[in-house]
A and B are shown apart, each in its own frame.
Chain A
Amino acid sequence: EAGVVQSPRYKIIEKKQPVAFWCNPISGHNTLYWYLQNLGQGPELLIRYENEEAVDDSQLPKDRFSAERLKGVDSTLKIQPAELGDSAVYLCASSLGIAGGEDEQFFGPGTRLTVL
């Protein structure tokens, strides 16, 4: 089965520019996660969707970050405007959506963002 697909894999932009990342989860997976991973750190949750509803966006910096998951499948994460400190790997993951979070999360390859 196809895994979680993310694009682009790499993105280099100048500060203050907008950037968008796209994620296509595994077919049938209701739950979708966006994580931020800084160098030398573990993934940090930005937002979690159950179908099309954002059920946990408490860690999403809403002044510059936004996300959407129209139709409960693909998702887009946007940063506008980007800052130097946003340089990181942005990971998307999906899972079946078992109550309580007991299911395995499947991760995509990530998008490595560099802000100059």
Chain B
Amino acid sequence: AQSVSQHNHHVILSEAASLELGCNYSYGGTVNLFWYVQYPGQHLQLLLKYFSGDPLVKGIKGFEAEFIKSKFSFNLRKPSVQWSDTAEYFCAVILPNTGGFKTIFGAGTRLFVKA
């Protein structure tokens, strides 16, 4: 069955540390890839997305993600995290399915940044 795996459920970093959150999906065809973020007390919102072209995509707030097709991965990175990056991060994959397409979310990674 198609699935999305986020390897770390909880991550704790100090400010200025580098961040990499893993995301792997299980589907052999073409996919669209997203990272969503949920800040404390707020709605889920889009961080960045990949459809085609340059596999390195840049999003808001200094985040970027790299699509590696051979590894079925779409890892999220940020060179230097801030306390305000404390949030829950969800990887999502859109693939062809009933009704045209299907969205599958990973279980999420809770990031806590220590000031």
Interface positions of A (Cβ within 8 A of B) = 3-4, 33, 40-45, 48, 50, 55-56, 58, 91, 93, 99-102, 104-110
Contacts and interface: CB of A to CB of B under 8 A. Distances in A.
Contact of A40 (B43, B45, B107): B107
Given A56-B97, A58-B98, A101-B32, A3 B103 contact: no
B102 A56 contact: yes
Nearest to B42: A109
A101 B100 contact: yes
Interface of B: 4, 6, 9, 32, 34, 36, 43-46, 49, 51, 90, 92, 94, 96-108
B107 A102 contact: no
A103 to B, nearest CB: 9
Given A55-B98, A100-B94, A100-B101, 11 more contacts: A3-B43, A41-B107, A44-B105, A50-B100, A56-B100, A93-B44, A99-B100, A101-B103, A105-B46, A107-B36, A110-B43
Chain B interface mostly: strand
B84 to A, nearest CB: 20
A40 B49 CA distance: 23
B51 A102 contact: yes
Nearest to B88: A42
A42 B100 contact: no
Nearest to A99: B100
